[in-house]
Amino acid sequence: MIKKFLDLGRQPITNAYLTENDLSDEFLFHLSVGFDEETKLVSLMEFVKPQMMFNDTYAHRASMSATMRESFTEIALSIKQQFKPAKVLEIGSNDGVFIKNFNKDEIVALEPCGNLAEMTKQMGYETYPYFWNTEIAKKIIKNHGKMDIVYSANTLCHIEDLKGVFEALNIVLNDSGVLIFEDPSLYDLLRNTSYDQFYDEHAHLFSVIALKDILSKSNFEIFKVENLATHGGSNRIYAKKTSTHSIKIDKSVEQNIQKELDFEMDKMTAYDNFAQRVKTSKDDLISLLTGLKRQGKKIISYGATYKSTTIFNYCRIGTDLIDYITDTTPNKQGKLSPGSHIPIISPEEGFNDSVDYAFLGAWNFYKEIMNKETEFINRGGKFITHVPHVKVL
Ligand code: DWN
């Protein structure tokens, strides 16, 4: 039985950065999250149609941060060294930040957002501009043969039909092939009260407990779990087909499951407790921002993230509290944030001496931002975060 534990209210499409003309017919849906007591999977209670989220105007560029560029280069090199694959498929190739580490004849990309697929095509990589399913898996093996490695970052948790996802992976992967995918860790999310990881695109937030069960039903077995610092804590899952006996199961699998069981992630109480902390986080953030505003301080937000859309809409934060948002992504600049309608401008324009406080919408790049913004910090500028609890840094 699926039990709802978190209600984040009416929310927009997080990728729908708006112009003034779009304001009148903005799409909103009810964002609430549930825990399936049987499968232990955490998912949205209401799913948004994929075509509404992943289309030809997709804004997020994975290569916008040095942290992610480094992370993708590192895993690409590690895959080459460890597995020496002849053929690799990446599902959700975004702007090519991962595939660019491979030769053009070694890798095939799949990316449903037309504008992004065009970018990797222009770079010379074979790119299929489709959603992942069994049909496209069959087409890919017809054109390229079976894959030795399938890699996917921050994509599989975006897909509602997980049975279909793994069925298609079974088709495309060699019997001795390896599936490697990484998505935000539910364990880290719960511990950090980073409820902003819940938004339209994140159909599911994975625990290793739930994944083990889902994968085994599709003839896959997890053989290694790596805990990553990226995106506020992610898990990189390595899985093989159950029929492949040559790969040993690493102790990290049981260790991660035990860690999650110790945190009682197989029980409803962990989620109910989390929901209480989310309420406190909301109250604390509103009260901090309101207090600072009363003192006449100028507060902006740093990074027009999809995550911060959840926060601003759940906490009902608008231009009354946040003057504007700065973001390095050119196609977000000049737009308004979804739902909260806060203007987004470039850091060159907005991150200047007039700013007293900057809320870290991109809190997951904390280290990168702190290293970069020494001038702001040295002149007394302050960052605000809500992770793991609301505070001025
Ligand atoms: O899964 C997803 C993740 C990986 O990326 C997607 N569904 C959508 C997107 O989510 P997000 O927007 O929450 O991701 P990021 O990577 O946290 O976004 C960071 C944003 O902040 C980017 O727009 C770039 C911007 N930024 C900036 O303005 N200055 C980032 C850094 C590091 C900076 O210094």
Report the CATH number that the domain containing residue 327 is assigned in CATH: 3.40.50.720
CA distance 320 to 387: 22
- Each as own residue / partner, the long-range contacts of residues 74-83 (CB below 8 Å, 24 or more positions apart, any chain) are 75/151, 75/180, 75/236, 76/101, 76/102, 77/101, 79/149, 79/151, 79/180, 83/148, 83/149, 83/178
Q: What is the pLDDT of residue 244?
A: 87
Q: Is residue 63 part of a domain?
A: yes
Q: Is 231 in the pocket of ligand 1 (CB under 6 A)?
A: yes
Final residue belonging to a domain, choices 265, 291, 318: 265
Mean pLDDT by 10 residues, the chain (393 residues): 98 97 94 98 98 97 95 98 98 98 98 98 98 98 98 98 98 97 98 98 98 97 98 98 93 98 98 98 98 98 98 98 97 97 98 98 97 97 98 97
| Residue 125 and residue 242 share a domain | yes
Tell which atom from ligand 1 comes closest to the C-alpha of 372. 34
Ligand 1 centroid to 70 CA: how many Å? Answer: 15
Q: Tell me the sheet residues that pair with 360.
A: 302
Q: Is 329 in the pocket of ligand 1 (CB under 6 A)?
A: yes
Q: Is residue 4 part of a domain?
A: no
Ligand 1 centroid to 59 CA: how many Å? Answer: 10
Final residue belonging to a domain, choices 235, 265, 295: 265
Q: What is the pLDDT of residue 135?
A: 98
| Residue 244 and residue 208 share a domain | yes
Structural domains counted in the chain: 2
The arrangement of strands across the sheet holding 357-360 comes to: 344-345, 325-326, 299-302, 357-360, 382-385, 391-392
- Substitution site in 52, 306, 324, 369 for ligand 1 pocket (most atoms within 8 Å of beta carbon): 306
Tell which atom from ligand 1 comes closest to the C-alpha of 361. 21
Q: What is the pLDDT of residue 346?
A: 98
Q: What is the pLDDT of residue 131?
A: 98
| Residue 310 and residue 254 share a domain | no
Q: Is 236 in the pocket of ligand 1 (CB under 6 A)?
A: no
| Residue 276 and residue 255 share a domain | no
| Residue 228 and residue 325 share a domain | no
Domain span holding position 283:
271-392
| Residue 340 and residue 203 share a domain | no
Ligand 1 centroid to 347 CA: how many Å? Answer: 14
Q: Is residue 71 part of a domain?
A: yes
Who contacts 63 (Cβ-Cβ below 8 Å, separation ≥6)?
69, 94, 95, 96, 97
Tell me the one-letter amino acid at 82.
Q
Q: Is residue 81 part of a domain?
A: yes
CA distance 156 to 83: 22
CA distance 293 to 12: 26
